[in-house]
Structure 1
């Protein structure tokens, strides 16, 4: 087998071949089988015309096949974009059009629903939204998951893996090569793809791995595929679970598998906290560490989590798509911080912070993104859009957001992307999306305020946002729709978002 310079592949090669590295339901995979199956798939892809630098889009369910596809593409050296199919049709198509993939790896169910409108209609009667993957011209299709009768020409990943891999020497992949594109909503209608090279992503994984080095017997549960990569590189076992499981099932899952480590945004843990409080129970003793990230971690959330265990270590991480890990802070110390602002802690190794004249936080990091897709290479300094300060102990304190971005769960939501679509709905005069923090959920709620005609109802608006011509991202769907006049201010009578937020916050008290 060829030798690779890629950090992720080399880390997998260095694992004991017989080690089970991932559990998915009743299935599991060893390091050796993952390496060999990925190599077989990479060889088959190479024979099928997949080459270094080709653009690949992935819509594959997290699991064993996801890892096989990911590692195979690393070996070939493609540029991967993982675009969530569960979003508004127009937005999804726009991102696919901008990325213009040469090849697509897609769950067969997403293809089937697109090819069979009657089946899709039947499923829509049971679900509000049905993700599907459109037919793309000049794009080679590879399918994962169950075998299904598809009309499109495609190659099944499982069959390609079963082939006997020839001895091929792939071109070594440079660590500064572009690798992964993650789309943010962006502040404009034009999609914004953040491009990471291997070096930046591997440095992020190395930082996370250092957090686990003292606990080699850790067992991680997650629903996010990048934490599976963390487990492989840290030498620990990873269990994939369905994030939609009810909290009682999650607690049983934790106890039965002796889970020691959990990663996720605060909103992932709110149902478990509520369940344990109803049962007057503590957090399972086997869990030693919870790592929180991907969203603001408010003290109101920590004040509900901390009393559930005296021994649980809570670690809070602040980061963003452009630089995944910026600062780290102990959760109990964060809860004890009562000074103005949100304490997010000291920077990770090789992360340098500075504050611009207007108070905006700037980052220089070894994890910094390469550039935005179809834009020139970025400088090493990233302007975050957050306002903050650095205290005498070198800790970063957030004071607010420069942008109007709403963060809910694991997602960044930009109102400017969706408001133009909402304005097109018949009867809507003006529409504004704002984020209002909900203490019970430990997360922001999206409130859509509409000034509309009398015939307009909140139910009708939600129906049109969920499916059809005016559908928007599933993750951006509002928690509440309020019909009322919208405040304006200034000489040009612009929408006063700040005043609107203050009004809604006061009314919720």
Structure 2
């Protein structure tokens, strides 16, 4: 199997003058700030990789990576892989304790960070970051070798190497290669997905499984030579490069600058968004249509002035994609082909379905489509306890846990691999599903509790024990309340120690002394990615099943009106 960087170098040799990376910026986010041809990309990746090697990087080194998508960051990421290192993504906004636990688990030898992040975490901007509730770890004190992008700022540690100067350190040194087998089995990507300070959980992909992932995404987008992929997601950007296309990188994430993203994505061949970003994009486009025509329609002249409103293909994934979101997308951008992508960090992507098929399907559940070529799927019915799982009991189909295999299957979890355990052979998704007569996968629920907000998977069971230890709390349950675009709003339901409310049907309310106290304390015990959008006090918790566990479905119904959402 060819190393993905070698594939890019092959593309560079065949189409050297084609633009590989185009980065937008400026106040409106519409100006092209930088373009890099394939020839330039190949040269900079090779020089940076050689520079890393000259600075002491060895195969297997892990690099803590905190650089936003832009050419310099993409080139460094590819150079790390080319030099035999592994990119470790860790959220710098985690609680200090969880961040420290993840660093201890990953044991990085390097940190690649923007100069601004150094300044905000250990320099003069630290107070500003804290005033905004961002408790950043002190990056400058990490006992690793430091790389930084951008101009030097106070807080960048002494001895840190500027990424732009790596090429000057190479002086003809070639990056370490190793045998083909060694290179395929090297760690390439480490992504922390969940976990607590005592058990941080990270997914590990090797060069082989990362290449498998990118090949599968090429199936999703049907990418071709010369096409434009406008996205901030590397899972579409890198396959576009491998196909000889141009990866257009927006100035900011779509949710942070939807107007700029709407302008940039217009007329592109493809894009990839998470559901929350789709909502932001559609809000902008609908507002534009309303401004063009007060009655909500867009006259032909106005439409011609606006230009193409969307990409040819828009893939949506990384969170549940609802029919309501696709119906809205199809209505606002009728000329765009909408795709819903299903998968997990452990194996991505796994299945895809078009909007028309998903909307038209008369399925008792959430149609996610047929497995992509190379993906194996089976339904394990032995794990389903019908008494504990009403959704399975009520289904007319044979429901079980969806289990997946394929070329993009992770090597395993970091703690398992570092302990010498064998690589993963399959991924148990935790999704309850069945296969219909056409071989399509239909989801009907979860076999274990998980909330998905944005691109973050939140496992309530990891955090609830710590929440129950807060003063005045008898019990605590985290639930996800669905919103129409497929995202979930996180609600923390607590009961008061001493049981001050009367028994009977559960009652819930906000604005109590207990909810205010808990809301002030959750930042001490939760990763910021799991912080609740709302804290609610309940008289008592509804229970279900033989085990008398909290009935999370009933709680969602109870708190939905308070959360200001509707059930999907």
* Same fold flag (TM > 0.5): yes
Partner residue, 1:352: 376
Relative distance call for 1:214 and 1:385 in structure 2 (3 A) is closer
Alpha-carbon distance between aligned partners in 1 of 2:403 and 2:492, rounded to the nearest angstrom: 31
Partner residue, 1:500: 555
Q: Which residues of 2 match residues 115-194 of structure 1 at below 5 A?
A: 115-116=122-123, 119-125=125-131, 127-135=132-140, 138-149=143-154, 150-163=156-169, 165-168=171-174, 170-172=176-178, 174-186=183-195, 189-194=198-203
Alpha-carbon distance between aligned partners in 2 of 1:372 and 1:95, rounded to the nearest angstrom: 13
Partner residue, 1:301: 325
Partner residue, 1:18: 17
Q: Deviations over 1:68-127 (max 9, x none)?
A: 2112111211122111212222222211111111111122222223323x63123433x2
Task: Report deviation, 1:314.
Answer: 0.8
Partner residue, 2:392: none
The two structures, once aligned, show a CA RMSD in angstroms of: 2.7
Task: Report deviation, 1:424.
Answer: 4.1
Relative distance call for 1:185 and 1:340 in structure 2 (3 A) is same
Partner residue, 2:490: 446
Task: Report deviation, 1:214.
Answer: 6.2
Give unpaired runs (5+ residues) of structure 1: none
Q: Which residues of 2 match residues 261-272 of structure 1 at below 5 A?
A: 261-272=270-281
> Do 1:182 and 1:193's aligned partners in 2 also have CA atoms closer than 8 Å?
yes
Relative distance call for 1:5 and 1:303 in structure 2 (3 A) is closer
- Quick check: 1:236 aligned with 2:245? yes
Task: Report deviation, 1:460.
Answer: 4.9
Task: Report deviation, 1:235.
Answer: 1.6
Query: Please, which of 528, 544, 554 is the counterpart of residue 474 of structure 1?
Result: 528
Query: Please, which of 181, 204, 222 is the counterpart of residue 195 of structure 1?
Result: 204
Relative distance call for 1:110 and 1:309 in structure 2 (3 A) is closer
Query: Please, which of 394, 419, 423 is the counterpart of residue 468 of structure 2?
Result: 423
Task: Report deviation, 1:137.
Answer: 5.4
Alpha-carbon distance between aligned partners in 2 of 1:71 and 1:251, rounded to the nearest angstrom: 28
Q: What SS class does the counterpart of residue 175 from structure 1 fall into?
A: helix
Partner residue, 1:373: 414
Q: Deviations over 1:108-154 (max 9, x none)?
A: 222223323x63123433x2325444355542122222211334432
Task: Report deviation, 1:418.
Answer: 2.6
Q: What SS class does the counterpart of residue 325 from structure 1 fall into?
A: strand
Partner residue, 1:324: 348
Alpha-carbon distance between aligned partners in 2 of 1:275 and 1:372, rounded to the nearest angstrom: 40
Relative distance call for 1:476 and 1:268 in structure 2 (3 A) is same
Q: Deviations over 1:419-465 (max 9, x none)?
A: 234334433332211011112x4421111112247973545544443
TM-score (norm 2): 0.81
> Do 2:101 and 2:197's aligned partners in 1 also have CA atoms closer than 8 Å?
no
> Do 2:9 and 2:42's aligned partners in 1 also have CA atoms closer than 8 Å?
yes
Partner residue, 1:483: 537
Instruction: Name which structure has the greater RCO, CA cutoff 8 Å, separation 6+.
Output: 1
Larger radius of gyration: 2
Alpha-carbon distance between aligned partners in 1 of 2:223 and 2:125, rounded to the nearest angstrom: 51
Task: Report deviation, 1:215.
Answer: 4.7
Relative distance call for 1:61 and 1:132 in structure 2 (3 A) is farther
Q: What SS class does the counterpart of residue 498 from structure 1 fall into?
A: helix
Query: Please, which of 3, 9, 12 is the counterpart of residue 6 of structure 1?
Result: 3
Task: Report deviation, 1:355.
Answer: 0.8
Partner residue, 1:385: 430
Q: What SS class does the counterpart of residue 240 from structure 2 fall into?
A: helix
> Do 1:86 and 1:130's aligned partners in 2 also have CA atoms closer than 8 Å?
yes
Alpha-carbon distance between aligned partners in 2 of 1:392 and 1:492, rounded to the nearest angstrom: 35
Relative distance call for 1:224 and 1:169 in structure 2 (3 A) is closer
> Do 1:180 and 1:197's aligned partners in 2 also have CA atoms closer than 8 Å?
yes
Q: Deviations over 1:305-352 (max 9, x none)?
A: 121233311111110011111111111110112331111110101111
